[in-house]
Amino acid sequence: MRHCSVQVRGLLTREELDRYNGLIEAGSYLEDQGRYDLAYIVQKEIDILILPAIERLKDKGRARDRATAEYLEGLREGKEVDGEDPSA
């Protein structure tokens, strides 16, 4: 079974995380039994389950990018207004 990243797991709700852990356990059992056909179906369910957490991670990245852009814009505007280096 393929695990999702630690960042994505950290953004799963408690209910999603419980379901994720159960599906991983069931899929690992199926792989141990050689039932790769069924393990594939479980993996597809895991992939669907983690989609909301992936979107939450993307949203956090976009928010961080916006904050960085605003900060850099503020530095640039501060430099133009004061005529000196704001990092000094």
pLDDT at res. 22? 97
pLDDT at 20: 97
pLDDT for 19 equals 98
Helix (H), strand (E) at residue 38: helix 36-49
Rounded Cα distance between 75 and 78, Å, is 5
For 79, other C-beta atoms within 10 Å of its C-beta total: 13
- Looking at residue 78, its pLDDT comes to 80
Task: Please check the confidence at residue 80 and state whether its pLDDT lies above 80.
Answer: no
pLDDT digits 0-9 by tens, 12-71: 999 999 999 999 999 999 999 999 999 999 999 999 999 999 999 999 999 999 999 999
